[in-house]
Structure 1
Amino acid sequence: MAALMRATDWSKTTLGPVEGWPEALKVAIRILLTSRFDMWLGWGDEVAFLYNDAYRPTLGSKHPASLAKPTRELWAEIWPDIEPLIRQVYEQGEATWSEALLLLLERNGYAEETYHTFSYSPVFDDAGTVGGLLCAVVEETDRVITGRRLESLRLLATELTTAETPPEVFAAAHAALASNPQDAPFSVTWLFDGDTAQIIGRTGLEGPHPALPETMRLDAEARWPLRNGGVVSLAGVSALPTGPWKKPPEHAAILPLEGQGADDARGAILVGLNPHLLPDDDYLGYLGLLAGQIGSGLHSAESHHAARRRAESLAEAARLRAEAAEALRELNVKLASEVVARTGERDRLWSLAEDLLARADYDGNLLAVNPAWTKLLGWSEQKLLTDPYADIIHPENVDTVLAALQEMGRTGEPTRFENRILSSEGVWTPVGWTVSPEPGGVHFIAVGRDLTEDKAREQELLGVQEALRQSQKMEAVGQLTGGIAHDFNNLLAGIAGNLELLELRLGQGRTVGLDRYITSAQGAARRAAALTQRLLAFSRRQTLDPRAVDANALVGGMEDLIRRTVGPSIEVEVVGAGGLWLTRVDPSQLENALLNLAINARDAMSGNGRLTIETANKWLDDRAAKERELPPGQYISLCVTDTGTGMTPDVIAQAFDPFFTTKPLGQGTGLGLSMIHGFVRQSGGQVRIYSEIGDGTTMCLYLPRFIGELDSPDDAHHPLNTSEGHGETVLVIDDEAPVRALIVEVLEEAGYSVIEAIDGATGLEVLRSQRRIDLLITDVGLPGGLNGRQVADAARVTRPDLKVLFITGYAENAAVGNGLLAPGMEVITKPFAVSAMGNKVRDMLDR
């Protein structure tokens, strides 16, 4: 498969050229190709299909045309079965597990019955979202089909042991056939009488069928060759039952019921064949075993009935007593040979089966075991039949096994369980058991399957999944380390250098011009905070403060700033739509996004060109919404268009990837567009890029329409007035002494009474006291086992109206309830301006 993939022209597929593939896809493909486990990988919105050599047999004739084909087209016949599982992985990022799932695969020219145990695991792309899925699969078709056939043969053998009359034999036969409707959707049984055949029973059919007469002659012209048997076509026969399938059988097998030989047929069975399996040697051999046991049972029952009649006649005729004795002796010899013949088939199954077969009682004794026990476990048959079976069951499993057997004995229903069995070499072997009670409630039949290989496959699958997660984690760590360290070191150098110069000048007594060092340090600190916000936006974990926003007013308010930012050589045009709908977003984040787009547009135009900012109302129908990956509905669009160089398809595909940049080294972190993408997606919208080389670029933000009113102007912040406090009491909890001291000093200067606490436990003691507390200010990340949100929740048990202001350097969901603050709670993000915090405190206390 590696050679086939290298020879493929990927530019003609939905995945595009290899050079544009995300690193996560390349890592997943390397894992796929180097594994000897059956695996396939789906990638992208079309779930493009990639697979390894071990998976090729599952494809059948679909290989090699299946490579890179959309999964919906490749497996169209089972798409309704697997689509919900794929959607769960893509939409929720959760793995799935399916055990022995029935799938009708059209891989060999017909819809074939197959069973598969598999898992779908999410594969995250370079942006941290689900880019595809990885499937590890084990085909269990042979195990499932063989298991149900063995079960029906076992049922027939059990029932025939007590059948003494022909009606009892046929009842046992019909029960066995009805227990496996997959391989026998319907059946009809005829009993021969000379040259005539009479129906005596049926399964799957509720009554007579016009194509299957109740009585028919056994001649060469008959529609059904009951004497000779074979596979016949059912073409032209309508209204046939389907059994568990959605379509009726297309062929049927006719099986003569032979006793001592081929010339001794006493009847025949017509069995409708599974429409999803070929009538191969295994299938017809299974039906032959069924017919052989039924024929032997019928012959034995008839012989037994004849013997009884002869015995009664001899008893009535004393003069024939001597003849009767000889005839009875000969009859007994004949009956003994027939019993041997009838049980021969069952004994062969018992001896050749690879599964563990046993007959046992509820008192803890094995009564019979097949040779597989010695082959798998090493114990002799004598030891197994002598010692209690609990002696070789793992001590941790004994109680579970005995409880399952006790429940089966009480209900009479079969049971399944797993346990570990001790081998003669001291090794514990995992075994899966299917146990069925025998009539009478004294004995039961157990069938055990060695699970060693299954467990090993499960462990290998877990190992593959863990390797994939670890490779993605290490890749992300490498990107973060290389992308952010340079910018933060520059910013820290600016802060530290200006503070050192300020210290030097103060030590020399030179106070003139100190404000420029303070301004420079504050600017570097603000830029560091902005970089942190970009990272939080990229990871979708920043706290948003959504409000009703008029995008026209927001753009108008920023127009002068944008003009000064892009420079006089670039013409700026603002086109605001009349009657523009409102949207609900964080206005500061939208301002940052707009400014970032304007700066990118300026850089793309090399200092000259035209920048257009345009707003519009958009009503997206199903088709338009699907193209933008949004739900249908009403949106506003905010588009920034430049006349620059444009972008290639490869660049567009990577534009929102974190740390991707086309700017020279040192001129960008590659987080700008990823920050915008994260903010817009978190606000329920979408970002789209429209660009061609030489024709410029348009970046459009689509944001949901908000039905409501603009926020009151009273909500706007005003400059800090240090006399605004009216003696209210504020509790401040923060483990960082410098931050806590700053907050306390600002509040006391403003006229508030302040209580300090260094951790959550100390603060909670104050909150549980009788002291007056008007406002709680707490850091989110506190030491000692109680975070800020937990402290606030505990405090509101006894102080339900307590107002809470959270302070955080990042926005964990635990702090704000997945982005939504409870009434009376607000949040302010570090680093913050002193005036902003003072205004926030006053606003909250005034409400």
Structure 2
Amino acid sequence: MSFLMDSHACVGWGGEMAERIRAFDWASTDLGAIDTWSKSLCTNVQMLLASPVPLVMLWDHPGYMIYNDAYAIFAGGRHPYLLGTPVELGWPEVADFNRNIVDVCLAGGTLSYAKKELELLRNGKPESVWLDLHYSPVCDDHGKPAGVIAIVVEITAQVVSEQQRSEAEAAFRAADERLQLALNAGALLGSFVWDVAKDQLSGDERFARTFSYPLDQPLDNLPIASANAVIHPDDLPRVNRLIQYTLKQGGPYNAEYRIRRPDGEYLWVQASGRCEFDDTGKPLRFPGLIFDIHERKVAEESLLQLTHTLEQRVAAEVQARSDVEARLRQAQKLEAIGGLTGGVAHDFNNLLQVIASNLHLLARQEPDNTNVQRRLSSALAAVDKGAKLSSQLLAFARQQPLSPAVYSLTSLYDGLGEVLPRALGEMIQIDLQLTAEPWSVHLDRNQLENALLNLALNARDAMHGEGTIQIHANNVVLDEAFCEGKEIKAGEYVHLCVADTGSGMDTEVLGHAFEPFFTTKPNGHGTGLGLSMVFGFVKQSGGHIEMTSQPGEGTTVHLYFPRSTLAENPRPAVATGNEETRTGGEIILVVEDNADVRCTVDELLQQLGYTVLLAANGDAAMDVLQSGAHVDLIFTDVVMPGTVKSADLAAWAKLQTPAIPVLFTSGHTRDIISRNHQLTPDIHLLSKPYGPQALVDMLKLALA
């Protein structure tokens, strides 16, 4: 065909790219082997190879890339991969842009772009480049557009230079504006020039006044020593270091320091300047300005002080929160232990009741057998010890029945003055101090006396039997901050404190002190229930307890009880005499879910002369009562299964005419018959385990 060139048509092409084009396997593309190329294609290739401007030709609809040496440099690391590659594959990051160009130019259009910004991958990483681009169609031998010739002129360096120049001009304008603002605001305190070679300082009048030079001192010869003399001694070493650094390293000089004014006060200033060097790098001149920054520095120091104060407050708040969380965790742990302890004590008391009742029944069957009576007495003594242990557990669990009354601490102190010397021994000195007019409290007096005795005995042991124990009481008003996290409300409290001069405790031991069975005493010298019992009693009474101690510095226990504004109750007389008393044969309904306890109580009551009716739970008891049976007293366990509870029986009995008295019994009361286990005068409770005499006494009291 006439428009095809012969096989030697491309021989005249010169340059590296010409060799690569000739060597490329064009037969693998739609262009076909190079010796079949059209005349127009060869002519255009020859033209672009001869151009010093980066040119690339995109041939046919895929846009096969043929380019010159200048474009190869522009392509960077993508050369020579781009040769013979469709443009969309060669530059995938701008594929849409190039596809539009090919489509427009093959349709006969042209395109031009000035300062076109593109992000290209030329050397393995994306970079922003700016280009002037011109695209024109290239026709085949028939005059139809068959490709695109692209002129690519990179102007990235020019654009970046313009940007840098623009940024520099903006920075200069900003600096100039700041300088003008400083001059207009009166913040400029003068200008200076230090001739470094001559070591001579000169300045304007404002500079001379700022550094307190004499009025007759020539401004072109200001002694440097005079300026240094008014700089604050704490700041001068730093100023000299900054000056020396600028003389050696160049760059801007900025120093903030204080200068002494004629009235003796110090003024904060900022010195700014720059050192000028000769061709050999030797410093020549050091011009600069002095600015007044006193108000800013004062404000900064005030802010710093405020920040420091806020940091201290935040640290205090964080520590307070941490302390509250620690107390809460300790309270939750003791609450969980208390719940477990109360349940164990309940079951333990039922067992003790069965044992005690059977022992008493055996004692009645063998009244003349000395050996049997001796063994039974020993067994009953063990039961009493078990009952005391159970009582201590219930005290810690805040489940012991309390009989509170209102009284002043004056009478309590009178009693302690008699009891404590006998209990503690002659080597212990007791320092009892009471405020002149102590407030009243609403407490179970016996339990408080036991608590103080326990604390005093612990203090004696900590001092190894010799020393002074202080028991002080006073009126206090606790605020919200103190009460936070302590389960008490702010208000008026009576404060009791028991302090010793013993060995003290470290932090770890102190953290476990109120836990049941925890003790530092040798085996056999303590149960570890004394402090836990005190803890439970105080909490059950609505108060707060805490302990402070340091190794070698003794221990102090603080007790806080809410003030009572009610009138003081007279202390009831203590009954004397412990002889068993026979009864008049009253009919008693025994309601007990534990079969062993029910059986032994039945037999014990019958031996005491009572007529007994039995019920295994509240439902059965209600059936007996509603059947018309005559009952003189209901003797019921507190905690039972079934729908009818012991409180329901008591409520029903109270409504009868006449009312039927009720005597409760339990290993612990939980919260069924009393609020916080504090008994009201109309509630009679016999705690398990109990003996015949205690049972008779309570029955007579309830029947009275």
Question: TM-score, normalised on structure 1?
Answer: 0.38
- Structure showing greater Rg: 2
Compare relative contact order (CA 8 Å, sep 6+) and give the higher one, 1 or 2: 2
